[in-house]
């Protein structure tokens, strides 16, 4: 039985530097707001979709979209990608497990089914 579904997450991380807000005009800290949707199987193997990163002013809460270059700079200043590993690559992990199992079955058929005709020879 496959248990599948979808969800939404919002993460807030420090942008790392003080910026001037275009909405309120204050010079202060801002944070990166990461919104994304995901689909999952068994609540563990997730696939990321609809990723949107915006910059939010801490004083007034106004948000502004940022480009991919600025997004990479923010993530580099953190030293890591703030999105959890299984949210980003969970679907690839599931595919790797299935492919590994198929390779194991093809390489060692007697370990999987010792009563097969192939193993009686």
Which residues of the chain fall short of a pLDDT of 70?
1-2, 16, 121
pLDDT of residue 77: 84
Give the DSSP H or E segment for 8.
Answer: strand 4-20
Read off the pTM. Answer: 0.75
The 10s digit of each residue's pLDDT in 74-97 is: 888 888 889 999 999 999 999 999
pLDDT of residue 2: 61
């Amino acid at each position: 039985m496959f248990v599948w579904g979808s969800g939404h997450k919002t993460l807030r991380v420090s942008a790392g530097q003080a910026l001037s807000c275009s909405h309120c005009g204050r010079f202060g800290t801002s944070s990166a707001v990461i919104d994304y949707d995901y689909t999952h199987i068994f609540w563990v193997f997730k696939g990321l979709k609809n990723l949107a990163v915006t910059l939010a002013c801490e004083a007034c809460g106004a948000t502004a979209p940022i480009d991919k270059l600025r997004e990479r700079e923010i993530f580099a200043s953190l030293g890591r990608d703030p999105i959890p590993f299984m949210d980003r690559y969970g679907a690839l992990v599931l595919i790797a497990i299935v492919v590994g199992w198929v390779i194991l079955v093809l390489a060692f058929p007697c370990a999987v089914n010792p009563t097969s005709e192939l193993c009686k020879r």
